[in-house]
Amino acid sequence: MIRSLAVLTSGGDAPGMNAAVRAVVRRALDCGVPVHGVFNGYEGLVAGGDSIRLLGWQDVGGILPRGGTFLGTARSERFRLPEGRRAAVANLVERGIGALVVIGGDGSLMGAHVLASEWPEHLASLGLEEAPEALQVIGLPGSIDNDLFGTDMSIGADTALNHIVQAIDDLSSTAASHQRTFVLETMGRHCGYLALMGSLAGGASWVLVPEEELELRWHQKMVRSLRKSREIGRPHQMVVVAEGARHPDGLPIRAEEIRRILCEQLAIDVRITVLGHVQRGGSPTAFDRILATRLGVAAVDLLVKEPPGKLRHMLGLQKNRVTATPLAEVVEQSRRVAQEIENGSYGKAQELRGESFTRGLELVKTLSRIEPAEKSQGEGGVGILTGGADAPGMNTAVSVAARCLLNQGIAVYGVLESFPGLIHGRLRELGWNELTGWLNRPSSELGTLRHDVREEDLAKIAENISRHGLKGLIVIGGLGSYLNVARMVENRRRFPELDIPIVVLPATIDNNLPCTEFTIGADTALNNVIQVLDKIRHTAGATRRAFVVEVMGRRSGFLALLGALASGAEKAYLPELGIRLRDLSRDVDMLQESFRSGKRMVIFLRNEEASRHYTTDFIRRLLEEESRDEFEVRTAILGHLQRGGAPSAFDRILASRMGAFAAFSLADAMEQKYTGVRVLGLQGRGIGAFDLHEALAEMDEGLTRPKNPWFLELLPVAEALAKHGPGATV
């Protein structure tokens, strides 16, 4: 086992780096491995002295919500030279450090690779033959650009994307008030991920990314599109440009150039917003904190498990699983895209980014059209309804699904107020232009209602399907909607009108549906939860305080567990595990020990259905009784604020991808006269379609949640990192 390790952050800072450092430090200390923090990246490694310090458990306390990196980061010219790296080796050996965790972009990972490769020769030249033969290095992807090979997402990208989406939302409202056109420049020198996904989630009128080969007269097309958009009275226009976008000849496209073209050609008021460092700043999102924590813990586990000398890898998250890729491969493949763009091989660059990038670009182009490509064929169409409780992102899914259908010449009818709307015939035709404004709206414009379809409803549903000539149905909702669709399908023999293709999209903040790792709405709710928890933590003041916070989720512990993981809450009571008396007794001891060890605030998260009798109030009274006036106890029931607000970037992208998938598979089924019922799910990176009955068979007997929710594997991680010291019982 390694004797000691060091952790550093390098290159551009990224939100979530602190969460990664916290995870590395606490997991290492828990495994009995001393850990050094290297301040200011490789510059600190070269400088040595006070720049490399042993870190304790509390040194990384309270840093989860903080942006940037508390270790500091730098670009080091000295480390680029062999003498600098030799000094770094001497500093590591002097402290008995045999392993290094580097969190940064491709340059930083390259630095780690070079250091590990040169280790033996530096040892020899320093006369340090006694030192460990090899340096173990693990890289973690820290970069807002999301341009690293070997991971679906890098630490910081989700936060940056949310900043961009928020900026597009904010600019859209001011642009609409002033009839203004905005040019928004995002980061991404060689990578259009932020610009592309920001445009998809925010609803841009035009997008320019480095990976696309533009036509010689691309700007004329852009001008034409924006002119038409103004003519038809669209309230605002937004051109999103990645800083690395290029003209066909390879020269950079500047935001100022776009502004000038639009001003001259359209004689309009155009404003530029360069988001710049705002994208790097601020508190990390739940996704970034969880990603960073998972990778940080996995890095230490690997270092502790593997025999010395083997590791020179980057850990990433692929298909929602932690994977290791050799650093050399990560750097080479990541840089290849930039190289292809430099050489003008844009097709190759896009291919390297993956199929979902190309599909995303096509989708943005479809959605930014002024009008559908095909005229409506005028013989019936598709119905869309949102069922059950509302979830953020439902509007995005409706907007994208409907526009993808309209674009193929298929009319779309919005069913108002869920299944009762279908029963009572409340449907209205949806138009292209009104749908463009729905992407970012909270809740559901169509309206939702909980209603179990009954025997007497079936004939009315059949009648309305027939009256409106519905040839297919898209249902967006939670388990109640799945069961209602199942009910309709079971009765197809009696009511042949129900024999139409149906696609069901998972949308609920509870994340309790089969065949999908994430449901539409869960990410927004999770971010709502951690924002409140961050604020609660700041209320500790001079008193010692324990908070029992109740979160939603019904019989699924997703929000409670991931909320605890992302906020550092000390305990999560989950319905999957229930609450036992002996747990409560242990938790009281843990609470007292935590306060004795110097903590001023302890947060217990309780899922609303974790136990029938050990309620939130019961736990409060129990803790109060046991506090013996040494600390205060408070409760907070977060309630509906968890569902509120505009959908997060992740939810909008998930809803857009699922909406598009639903529209294309339904159009296909209608053409093939296939009347199956498909349930969509996100598994790993891809969206797939599953048979409804097979999906329902994945649920536990009471139909309350999937049998093996993936996120339960994160429980030990959440508990281990939140306790008050190494070896402390939870």
Report, in Å, the least distance between residue 75 CB and ligand ATP. 3
How far is the C-alpha of 338 from the C-alpha of 106, rounded, in Å? 12
- Segment interacting with ligand ATP, rule: CB under 6 A, options 9-17, 342-350, 360-368, 702-710: 9-17
DSSP secondary structure code for residue 699 in this structure: B
Q: Which of 8, 33, 92, 114 binds ligand ATP (CB under 6 A)?
A: 114
Q: Which two tokens stand for residue 104?
A: 């940064």
How far is the C-alpha of 326 from the C-alpha of 68, rounded, in Å? 26
Indicate whether 386 belongs to the interface with ligand ATP (CB under 6 A).
Answer: no
Binding to ligand ATP by CB under 6 A, coded x per residue (else -) over 17-46, reads -------------------------x----
Q: What HEC string does 549-604 produce?
A: EEECCCCCCHHHHHHHHHHCCCEEECCCCCCCHHHHHHHHHHHHHHHHCCCCEEEE
Q: Which two tokens stand for residue 510?
A: 């509870």
How far is the C-alpha of 334 from the C-alpha of 313, rounded, in Å? 14
Residue pointed to by tokens 């996120």 = 711
Q: Which sign, positive or negative, has the C-alpha torsion 580, 583, 585, 588? A: negative
Known catalytic membership, residue 145: yes
Binding to ligand ATP by CB under 6 A, coded x per residue (else -) over 128-167, reads ---------------x------------------------
Q: Which of 108, 368, 464, 511 binds ligand ATP (CB under 6 A)?
A: 108
Report, in Å, the least distance between residue 80 CB and ligand ATP. 5
Report, in Å, the least distance between residue 12 CB and ligand ATP. 3
How far is the C-alpha of 144 from the C-alpha of 580, rounded, in Å? 42
Report, in Å, the least distance between residue 381 CB and ligand ATP. 47
Report, in Å, the least distance between residue 141 CB and ligand ATP. 9
Report, in Å, the least distance between residue 148 CB and ligand ATP. 8
Indicate whether 202 belongs to the interface with ligand ATP (CB under 6 A).
Answer: no
For residue 238, the surrounding DSSP H or E stretch is strand 237-242
Query: Which residues face 381 on adjacent strands?
Result: 411, 470
Residue 577 CB neighbour total at 10 angstroms: 16
How far is the C-alpha of 162 from the C-alpha of 721, rounded, in Å? 26
Indicate whether 7 belongs to the interface with ligand ATP (CB under 6 A).
Answer: no
How far is the C-alpha of 381 from the C-alpha of 468, rounded, in Å? 8
- Segment interacting with ligand ATP, rule: CB under 6 A, options 110-118, 190-198, 601-609, 702-710: 110-118
- Segment interacting with ligand ATP, rule: CB under 6 A, options 105-113, 429-437, 439-447, 692-700: 105-113
Report, in Å, the least distance between residue 42 CB and ligand ATP. 4
Binding to ligand ATP by CB under 6 A, coded x per residue (else -) over 331-370, reads ----------------------------------------
Q: Which of 12, 44, 472, 521 binds ligand ATP (CB under 6 A)?
A: 12
Whichever of 75 and 621 has its CB closer to ligand ATP, that residue is: 75
Whichever of 67 and 381 has its CB closer to ligand ATP, that residue is: 67
Q: Which of 106, 185, 417, 445 binds ligand ATP (CB under 6 A)?
A: 106
Catalytic-role residue among 145, 147, 158, 510: 145
Report, in Å, the least distance between residue 10 CB and ligand ATP. 5
Residue 665 has phi, psi (to 5 degrees) of -70, -30
Whichever of 114 and 658 has its CB closer to ligand ATP, that residue is: 114
Q: Which of 9, 10, 516, 642 binds ligand ATP (CB under 6 A)?
A: 10
- Segment interacting with ligand ATP, rule: CB under 6 A, options 4-12, 175-183, 214-222, 281-289: 4-12
How far is the C-alpha of 101 from the C-alpha of 99, rounded, in Å? 7
Residue 80 CB neighbour total at 10 angstroms: 14
Q: Which residues, 6+ apart, have CB-to-CB distance to 657 below 8 Å?
A: 356, 363, 682, 687
Whichever of 9 and 440 has its CB closer to ligand ATP, that residue is: 9
Indicate whether 11 belongs to the interface with ligand ATP (CB under 6 A).
Answer: yes
Instruction: Number of residues interacting with ligand ATP: please give it, by CB under 6 A.
Output: 17
Tell me the residue type at 534.
D
**Which residues from 683-722 bind ligand ATP, rule CB under 6 A?**
none
Pairing of strands 312-318, 321-326: antiparallel
Say if residues 242 and 197 touch (Cβ distance below 8 Å): no
Say if residues 472 and 669 touch (Cβ distance below 8 Å): yes
How far is the C-alpha of 677 from the C-alpha of 691, rounded, in Å? 6
Indicate whether 242 belongs to the interface with ligand ATP (CB under 6 A).
Answer: no
Per-residue b or e along 226-253, where b marks 16 or more CB atoms closer than 10 Å to that residue's CB? beebeeeebbbbbbbbbbbbbeeeeeeb
Report, in Å, the least distance between residue 73 CB and ligand ATP. 8
For residue 314, the surrounding DSSP H or E stretch is strand 312-318
Whichever of 10 and 648 has its CB closer to ligand ATP, that residue is: 10
For residue 201, the surrounding DSSP H or E stretch is helix 193-202
Whichever of 69 and 519 has its CB closer to ligand ATP, that residue is: 69
Report, in Å, the least distance between residue 13 CB and ligand ATP. 8
Indicate whether 104 belongs to the interface with ligand ATP (CB under 6 A).
Answer: yes
What ranges make up the beta strands (E) of 375-519? 381-386, 411-415, 427-429, 470-477, 502-506
Whichever of 105 and 388 has its CB closer to ligand ATP, that residue is: 105
For ligand ATP, the nearest residue by Cβ is 107
Q: Which residues, 6+ apart, have CB-to-CB distance to 647 below 8 Å?
A: 392, 393, 395, 396, 440, 442, 520, 521, 524, 655
Binding to ligand ATP by CB under 6 A, coded x per residue (else -) over 45-84, reads ------------------------------xx--xx----
Report, in Å, the least distance between residue 113 CB and ligand ATP. 8
Whichever of 107 and 447 has its CB closer to ligand ATP, that residue is: 107
For residue 5, the surrounding DSSP H or E stretch is strand 5-9
Whichever of 328 and 728 has its CB closer to ligand ATP, that residue is: 328
- Segment interacting with ligand ATP, rule: CB under 6 A, options 109-117, 267-275, 284-292, 508-516: 109-117
Whichever of 107 and 425 has its CB closer to ligand ATP, that residue is: 107
Indicate whether 105 belongs to the interface with ligand ATP (CB under 6 A).
Answer: yes
223-226: list long-range contacts, CB under 8 Å, 24+ apart.
223/261, 223/262, 223/265, 223/266, 225/368, 225/370, 226/181, 226/262, 226/266
Query: Which residues face 473 on adjacent strands?
Result: 383, 502
The full DSSP string for 402-428 is HHHHHTTT-EEEEETTHHHHHHHT-EE
- Which residues are designated catalytic? 145
Which residues lie near ligand ATP (CB under 6 A)? 10-12, 42, 75-76, 79-80, 104-108, 110-111, 114, 143
